[in-house]
Amino acid sequence: MMRVSATVMAAVLLIAATTTLADEPLKPEQLKKAYDDALVQLKAAQDRKAELAKENEALGAKVEELKKQLAASQGQIESMKREIADNDDRTFMLRSYHAAWQRFIRLYPEIMTRWNLYLGDSVLSGPRDPSDLFNPDWIAPLAG
């Protein structure tokens, strides 16, 4: 609306300026030309305004879509954070249980012997020495 009124004002000023510069009266053809130019500019401004409104609507729809995607992504992140926390709790429990088992089995050598017989010498039995748990090559001697 501002652009339209500015265009009309410019046309009026142009007409007023031409009348003050020239002492002779304006011809109707000159007035008609100035009026037609103002109309063309007004039409162009209205077309651009309509075009910008369409672009604004499209961008608004895209923003809403991106907001939905962001909300879904944030939901997935929260879900993964909960899953990680649950896994951390379970991992801690299993590690502490395993450490307690190792202490227990060392206190009772006869149970350790029976446990080793139960497990046998298969690859699934794992390393016998707890320090082998931290050695990534512990399975190589069993496989070879």
Q: What is the pLDDT of residue 134?
A: 60
Q: Report pLDDT digits (tens) over 125-141.
A: 555 555 555 655 655 55
Q: Report pLDDT digits (tens) over 30-71.
A: 889 999 999 999 999 999 999 999 999 999 999 999 999 999
| Residue 4 clears pLDDT 60, i.e. is over it | no
Q: Report pLDDT digits (tens) over 76-103.
A: 999 999 999 989 888 988 899 999 998 9
Q: Treating both helix axes as pointing N-terminal to C-terminal, what angle do 2-21 and 28-107 enclose, rounded to 10 degrees?
A: 150
SS (H, E, C) 12-58: HHHHHHHHHHCCCCCCHHHHHHHHHHHHHHHHHHHHHHHHHHHHHHH
The number of CA neighbours under 13 Å toward the Cβ of 94 is: 6
| Residue 22 clears pLDDT 80, i.e. is over it | no
Which amino acid is located at 69 in the chain? Q
